[in-house]
Structure 1
Amino acid sequence: MGLITQNAPEGDSTSQTWLSRAKTPVPASFLHTEFVGTFAVQTWETDSGNLALIYPLTATSGTTTAYRALRQHHGENLASQYACLVIPQIRTQVIHPYTPSLLARDTTGHTEEYETSWQQLALVLGQPAPYWFHQLRDRDALSGWYPGAPPALVPAADIATPVAALTELAADEPAGSPAAEVCWYLARDVRRRGHRGVSHDIDELRKEASAGGDAAHLVLGAVPAPLHRPDPEEPSEMIRRAGWLTITERRDVLAHRVADFAQSWNAGADWHTGDVTELDPDTCSTAREWAARLTHAPRDQPPTVLEKRLLDNGNDPERDVLLHDPVAGTPVLHRQPDTPHADMLTFSLQRLPTRSQLATLTLSNGNAWVRTDDGTLWLAPERDGYGVGYGYSGTGCLTLARLVDALLDDISAPAAAPDDTPAPRGLFTLLQKSDDTTYTRAQLIAARTRTA
């Protein structure tokens, strides 16, 4: 049910704003809802001019982007169409943590962005304005709203994490597809979190309204529709990694959208690749040895998910060259010759796909390399956001020491994580004092047994 307007407002302290000057001898008339770009614009007609109550349909929240969209739509007639633009925020107020903040901007006179209250807005409109939580901004529900309408029942779907790409990809997959299982789980988990989050916020908002807070001067445009499924069960790590391996090798736009979702959701934690690594074969002999095995990637096909991520890190898509590492199975970007950065970009792996044990660790030009007994050269495994380092007493060196300790026992051990068992003191001491060098397996084993 909607919330009820209570006491008369005290007025806005910013006396030069349109909202503080507008007089409403009769309630404002609600005209319509229209969609301008990625904004839902609800227009109210008052005796002092029209007011636009604007709801972003993306994660945008400030008035500047909305102002530009409306200015582009109406041109020089914007000021004659609207006297004031008001945008409810995703963030909440400090004093009332579940009451959404309001930002306003006048189209003439005081055109700086300013804060206002739901109480002040209700005074100008002569009635409470609707609020739509960002998880519930459904186009059909927004366009069908009118004053006095009961809150629409909307399936919770956070505008910052849309799941359409996940469900579309999963719907086209065959039975038993790990990619489909990963996508269905993520979509359902996001919807579950959105439902619980907005339900909690609405409960708290109603408590603040009943206590006479600013939330008492708004109504809800929508509430979450009931969930009819039990909480989803997360797929096993093997299925998650198999699913993402399939997705990141695809070249279609749907896979790119799903990958973008994964990057914003958990940084692709279950991908087989880790961090993007910079390499310069011109100044590093180890990198030069690695670069000698690279082959050219197909030029007559769209990029895979991983290739596109590297291209997005490049300088010039028309001049940068995509290569392929046939051993690691990862793409490589050879950047244009006049770039001020390192010559090549590639991905480290989160696990090394080999059974051959660690033979040497090479530290060169800021990178860590593992050579296995079969002579294969690998970049040391890394997780995105938890890179390895050496030659200093810091997190990167601790991460590398943990990794080396694990790889000595199991070459396919995953890249080190912050909550792993602390590194042996002897290995950390060795690596933090290291310059560019190569250590044998025997030297590393001896170091980890030392206590100082």
Structure 2
Amino acid sequence: MEKLLQLDKGELDPLLENDEDFPQGSRDHHGLFDQVLGKVPPVTWDGGSLYIWAARSSRFRDRGAVLLNPTLYTRTVTPGKWLGFQPTSQGPAMDWDTDLGVVRIIHTTHHGAASAMAEELAETPGAQGVITVCALFGDIGSSGPALIAADTAQPFLEYETQWGLLTRLVGQPLPWWPSALRRSDVISQWSPGAPVTHAEVLPDEKETSLRQAATVRWPDDAIKTALIDLANSLRNQDVDSLDHEIRIFAEHGGHPHGDPLLIAARHRTEGYPLPRTEDRDLLAAGWCAIASSQLFEAYEPIKIGMQYATDLLPYGPQTEVRLRGPAARRWGQRLTACTPTAVHAVLAGDAQDVTFYTDRATGIPVVRKGSSRDGAWVFLAPLQLSDQGAPLESVILEDSVWIQTTDGRIHPGPCTARDHLWWGPGGGDRPTEAAWVISQLMDDISTRVSLANHWHHAPAGLTKLLNETRKYGTELPRAVLEHARRQRVDGTL
């Protein structure tokens, strides 16, 4: 602290006694022996808090955060000057010469970019005259885009500053680029008074992977259709997000109480939205073929599809259960070993000790990881159970919801692609998904379950039954389920 504030010995105690706003320090015991021996550790202060306090004090203002000096809002400042585009190690940047010195704005939201750039400049002789570096935080602040700053004098101490303050220092509206166009080839085209740049939205890694996969000679044309459709969907989503982002920031910049903001670039609109395939059966057939493919080229597409095309896959959400559970062991005994498909590869991840299976009753892919003591079954839940003339007999609560039928078979509870099944108190949430699935299976074991408006359809008694803490492996017989289903919230029938 003495080094940061440039204090002489003996100056600290009076400061602590007389300044009520001085940050609180803390004492951290560094070991058990310190506490046993009654050793009192020294008081320490957070450097960032001290740096901010110093900027707002009268005595230490010149030693605090440069852009938190309160006089910057009241004193007369000479309008700054644009010094040009800077391609930096932390992203595209603009330098502005101000009354304080050169302020560098990096147009990136990467965590720690301001500090890293300030440290780099501090180690460079002359530092190009830059006294502070600002990076975008990502959202809207009180006066414009939120900013994180780091000064070259103290590069490791980041703090928040205001877009409106920088606007005041440079004496003109500052340019801003939406995240999808925050690239050097776009930002380098700007200068004060330049027209808005129109640039193409570039494909991300997911879209590129899908389009590359579409060039493979697949045995089924539906696969190529599915791949291109999802690639187009992802691009359309990116463009929609860009439109939304520009609209939000433009509205803030145009607000009477806001500070000026220039939208420096927009995307080209020709050809958008990209065409989509309306035949969902064709798309579903394509994704089913990709999921069951054993070709290496199917791995990346299905990995992406399991995130962004879940409604078109023949499986439900990813589920993981412990091998040692009695229900899981019984279920595992009737799984069929198989050659791994693309889905198996995704489920296996980077695990080393894995074996691959298929549940013939539901068609779901299953991966076994590790040993029986600490291993797990990883699978995609079924969307429905086959009708074998055996109705629901009981429900077993063991890592997941298990359905036991009257023929003695065990099945993972079916689910829909974007939902989950669980039980127990949820801190305000309720297990209405599981309650509604169980209720549907009690009426028809082979139904393709729906979870639309599950919070409205789930029987109150079943929800209450599943909202209780249960012992691992608890079995709820059908009679108990039927009784609960007939109950009202107050427990009456």
TM-score norm. by structure 1 comes to 0.71
1:74-106 deviation per Cα after TM superposition (whole angstroms, max 9, x unaligned) = 794398354321112321024x5xx31222111
The residue that corresponds to 2:244 in the other structure is 197
Distance of aligned partners of 1:244 and 1:84 in 2 relative to their CA distance in 1, 3 Å threshold: farther
Give the structure 2 partner of residue 274 of structure 1: 316
Name the CA distance, whole Å, in 2 between partners of 1:31 and 1:135: 22
Tell me what 2:327 maps to. 286
Go from structure 1 to structure 2 and tell me whether the alpha carbon gap of 1:18 and 1:423 turns closer, same or farther (over 3 Å shift).
closer
Write the letter of the residue equivalent to 2:186. A
Give the Cα separation in 2 of the matches to 1:78 and 1:427. 71
Q: Is the 8 A contact 1:89 1:101 kept in 2?
A: yes
1:197 deviates by: 0.9
Deviations 1:251-298 (A, max 9, x none): 7578537745863x69x455444344343343x332112222446666
Cα distance 1:203–1:227, how it changes in 2: closer, same or farther (>3 A)? farther
- Cα gap change, 1:387/1:27 in structure 2, threshold over 3 Å: closer, same or farther? closer
Is the alpha carbon distance of 1:331 and 1:75 closer, same or farther for their aligned partners in structure 2, counting shifts above 3 Å?
Answer: farther
1:345 paired to 2:390: no
* Alpha-carbon distance between aligned partners in 2 of 1:87 and 1:387, rounded to the nearest angstrom: 39
The Cα shift of 1:141 comes to 1.0
Matches within 5 A, 1:334-413: 334-335=369-370, 343-352=375-384, 354-359=386-391, 360-371=393-404, 376-383=409-416, 386-390=419-423, 397-407=431-441, 408-409=443-444, 411-413=446-448
Say whether residues 1:439 and 2:477 are aligned partners. Answer: yes
Match of 2:105 in 1: 53
| Offset, 1:191 | 3.8
Q: What does 1:256-271 align with in structure 2 at a 5 Å threshold?
A: 256=300, 259-260=303-304, 263=307, 268=310, 270-271=312-313
**What secondary structure is seen at the aligned counterpart in 2 of 1:274?**
coil
* Cα shift readout 1:346-374 (whole Å, capped 9, x = no counterpart): 13424126243553334143432224577
Residue of structure 2 equivalent to 1:311: 349
- TM-superposed deviation, 1:183: 0.6
Contact 2:462 2:484 (C-alpha < 8 Å) held by counterparts = yes
Equivalent residue number for residue 84 of structure 1: 132
**In structure 1, the residue corresponding to 2:157 is in which secondary structure?**
coil
In terms of mean alpha carbon deviation, does 251-260 or 113-122 score higher?
251-260
1:405 maps to amino acid: S
- Matched AA of 2:381: L
Equivalent residue for 1:112, pick from 150, 157, 161: 157
Q: Aligned AA for 1:280? A: R
8 Å contact kept, 2:338–2:358: no
Measured after TM superposition, the shift of residue 142 of structure 1 is: 1.9
Q: RCO (CA 8 Å, sep 6+): is it higher in 1 or 2?
A: 1
1:205-237: per-residue Cα shift (whole Å, max 9, x none)? 4522xx3631x2x43321232354458667465
Alpha-carbon spacing, 1:80–1:297, altered in 2? closer, same or farther (3 Å): farther
Q: 1:245 to 1:384 in 2, by over 3 A?
A: same
Q: Equivalent residue for 1:220?
A: 263
In the alignment, the residues of structure 1 paired with residue 336 and residue 190 of structure 2 have an alpha-carbon distance, to the nearest angstrom, of 58
* Contact 1:323/1:334, CA 8 A, preserved across alignment: no
SS of residue paired to 2:367: strand
Alignment-derived partner of residue 3 in structure 1: none
Structure 1: how far apart are the matches of 2:370 and 2:349? 9
Cα distance between partner residues in 2 of 1:295 and 1:219: 62
Aligned residues: 412
User: What is the identity, as a one-letter code, of the residue corresponding to 2:240?
Assistant: R
- Following superposition, the deviation at residue 189 of structure 1 comes to 3.5
Which amino acid in the other structure matches residue 36 of structure 1? S
Q: 1:110 to 1:395 in 2, by over 3 A?
A: closer
Structure possessing the higher radius of gyration over alpha carbons = 2
> SS state of the match for residue 279, structure 1?
strand
| 1:18-37 Cα shifts (integer Å, max 9, x gaps) | 34689986844524331536
SS where residue 51 of structure 1 aligns?
A: strand
What is the Cα-based RMSD across aligned positions, in Å? 4.4
> Residue deviations 1:319-342, cap 9 Å, x none?
x42432342431324236775xxx
**Alignment identity in percent?**
21
Could you tell me whether the CA contact under 8 Å between 1:165 and 1:258 is conserved in 2? no
Q: CA deviation at 1:109?
A: 3.5
Establish whether residue 146 from structure 1 lines up as the match of residue 191 from structure 2: yes
Aligned counterpart, 2:51 = none
- Distance, in Å, in 1 between the alignment partners of 2:298 and 2:93 is 30
Partner secondary structure for residue 354 of structure 1? coil
Cα shift readout 1:98-146 (whole Å, capped 9, x = no counterpart): x312221112147522232334324444544321122332442123333
Report SS of the residue matched to 2:254. Answer: helix
Matches of 1:247 and 1:70, distance apart in 2: 48
Gapped regions of structure 1 (runs ≥ 5): 1-11
Aligned match of 1:42:
94
Q: 1:277 to 1:228 in 2, by over 3 A?
A: closer
Please state how far the C-alpha of 1:151 moved relative to its aligned partner. 1.6
What letter matches 1:223 in structure 2? R
| Equivalent residue, structure 2, for 1:5 | none
SS of the residue aligned with 2:438?
helix
